[in-house]
Amino acid sequence: MKFNTKTIHGGQKPDPAYGAVMPPIYQTTTYAQSTPGGHKGYAYSRSHNPTRNALENALASIENGNFGFAFGSGLAAIDAILKLLKPGDEVISTNDLYGGTYRLFTQIFEDFGITFHFVGMKNASNIENYVNANTKLIWVETPTNPMLNIIDIKAAANIAKKHGVLLAVDNTFATPYLQQPLDLGADIIMHSATKYLGGHSDVVMGALVVKDKDLANKLYFIQNASGAICGPQDSFLVLRGIKTLHVRMQRHCENGKAIATYLATHPKVEKVYWPGFKEHPNHAIAKAQMRDFGGMVSFTTKGNNYAEAIQLVEKLKVFTLAESLGGVESLAGHPASMTHASIPKEDREKTGVVDSLIRLSVGIEDETDLIADLQQALG
């Protein structure tokens, strides 16, 4: 089954009760049993819920995995991965990553004895310099947030397998429409399903997908025991969003290219970060492991002026100044004061998150309206 068909039908079948084409919203906490322990596969909705299970089957299908897990948020999904570790274990992470992930790593799990190494991974061979006997996990985000750096998933997977450690890939920016890390050797895929998978800025959710059964059993135990699950209504919304993922991503990619190209020629713009440019570092890797280059674009203005960057995003009218990304509407953010404010300024700026950096989540509106909006804001 091809990807576009999988988004509609993958892992899905009509509801057995009445043949409903869309899985019903099973808004229930518990299920009747004929005898103690005698039920139809569902006893309590923290453990299993038919609507959530339908979503988890769809997630596994579109990522070419065998097991999917849905959580209350992307951070809850990452939290579950880190609970596979124990005190003394070490994690090698890309140094350019979502601020919330950095905060979870450094302000929560470091206190439990986990050591994190933040490494520039544009050259994946750098990872091996930090591997030791305590290394248990390599954390990759590609394209990265917000610098749109590209990391070679296959190369990272080879290093992980060589040393017997897990490789987890945050696939939020790319989505399975653009890349499927399990096919490139990753062990775990993480999504903030809040973003492109949901696609309509109306639900907060996280997801994991794996192939290995033993790993799946461990993650299911953590999901059930820790309880950071999502509700049936949210599951229904993300499942509905997945069904249009392929058509939305086509337009996100088209508009992203148009916006990046426009910004690259603007006299007030210093630099544009978008992996579709031939001069972008690791463009060749992006071209090899991705089907297209996505709808995320970051740029800096000349002079690196904090106040001017704030003024620019405040003047936008079609782009909404807001956190998050991946919805049908275009959003603009100022990472230094918003999504990445939890990262110390010195560490932020080492990765390129300077005061003038602006991140755009390019939506599916008409590209001429989006360009006109940027034109008036840039003045």
Q: Which DSSP category does 303 fall into?
A: T
H or E segment and range at residue 208: strand 206-210
What DSSP string describes 305-368? -HHHHHHHHHH-SSSEE-S---SSS-EEE-TTTTTTTTS-HHHHHHTT--TTEEEEE--SS-HH
Helices (H) then strands (E): counts for the chain: 13, 12
Q: What is the C-alpha separation between 116 and 293, in angstroms, rounded? A: 29
Task: Give me the helices (H) in the chain, please.
Answer: 3-9, 50-62, 74-82, 99-107, 153-163, 175-178, 213-226, 232-242, 245-264, 283-289, 306-315, 345-350, 367-378
Known catalytic residue at 170: yes
- Catalytic residue of the set 46, 251, 291, 315: 46
How far from 338 is each of 103, 190, 330, 335, 376, CA to CA, in Å? 13, 22, 16, 5, 23
- Residue 275 main-chain phi, psi, to 5 deg: -70, -5
Catalytic-labelled residue, pool 170, 187, 234, 292: 170
CA-CA-CA-CA torsion sign (317, 319, 323, 329):
positive
- State the catalytic residue, choosing from 136, 195, 257, 359: 195
Residue 42 is a catalytic residue:
no
Phi and psi, residue 324, nearest 5°: 80, -175
Does residue 98 carry a catalytic annotation?
yes
Say whether 26 is catalytic: no
Beta bridge partners of 286: none
- Residue in 26, 79, 98, 136 annotated catalytic: 98
Q: Return the SS3 of 123.
A: coil
In the sheet that holds 67-71, the strands lie side by side as 67-71, 206-210, 188-192, 166-170, 135-141, 90-94, 115-119
Handedness of CA 62, 66, 70, 76 (dihedral sign): negative
List CB contacts of 123: < 8 A, sequence separation 6 or more.
none
**In this structure, what token pair is assigned to residue 300?**
């800096």
Residue with tokens 């985000």: 141
Catalytic machinery residues: 46, 98, 170, 195
